[in-house]
Each structure stands twice: as structure tokens, then as C-alpha cells.
């Protein structure tokens, strides 16, 4: 099982509320009201953002993305966990055990 700074496949992930998000030409951009920073989540990052509006297990998030895109399981896991790790560092998402 892949593990990165506390992010593992069996953890649950959810957005932190209070961010202003907009769709700009197919890419999601966001303003964090909490830290005053702008983020360009991109197309797939924006899709991940939409999928984590409600609490979801990381492994289910990866399965949803893998079924939509032609990507190898390990590559999908690494990319998603890396992206989630960045969101955690910025305080934009919360991780939990259930």
C-alpha cells in the first residue's frame, strides 16, 4: 500500500469548506479564503476537487479516476496521492480514518 505523509488508500478525504471555486475554460481555479492564496487545480485536479466534495475513501477516488482515464493503477495512485498531499499541505482538504 502506498503511503505518503499520512495519506494512504484506506483514508477518507474531503474538501475544507470556505473556498471560492470557479471553472475557467475547463480548469478549476480556487481562492482559499483562509490563507488568501489562488490555486489553479487544472482539469483533472478540478475533477478530483469535485469528487471530494463529500467524504470519500482515497481508494474509491482512485478507482473512479482509473475507470475514466486509461492509466495504470500504480501511476494513478502515485499521482492522486501526490496531488492530495499538496492539498493537505495547503490546508485545503481534511484526511480521516472514517
* Tens digits of residue pLDDT in 31-89: 999 899 999 999 999 999 999 999 999 999 999 999 999 899 999 999 999 999 999 99
Q: Does the reported pTM lie above 0.85?
A: yes
What per-residue confidence (pLDDT) applies to 3?
42
What per-residue confidence (pLDDT) applies to 2?
42
What per-residue confidence (pLDDT) applies to 26?
87
| Selection from 71, 87, 88, 75 nearest residue 28 by Cα | 87
Tell me 11's DSSP state. S
Amino acid at each position: 500500500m502506498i503511503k505518503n505523509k499520512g495519506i494512504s488508500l484506506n483514508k477518507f478525504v474531503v474538501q475544507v469548506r470556505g473556498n471560492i471555486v470557479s471553472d475557467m475554460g475547463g480548469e478549476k481555479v480556487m481562492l482559499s479564503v483562509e490563507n488568501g492564496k489562488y490555486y489553479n487545480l487544472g482539469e483533472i485536479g478540478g475533477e478530483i476537487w469535485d469528487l471530494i466534495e463529500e467524504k470519500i475513501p482515497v481508494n474509491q477516488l482512485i478507482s473512479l479516476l482509473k475507470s475514466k482515464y486509461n492509466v495504470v493503477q500504480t501511476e494513478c495512485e502515485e499521482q492522486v496521492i501526490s496531488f492530495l498531499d499538496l492539498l493537505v499541505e495547503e490546508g485545503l482538504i481534511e484526511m480521516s480514518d472514517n
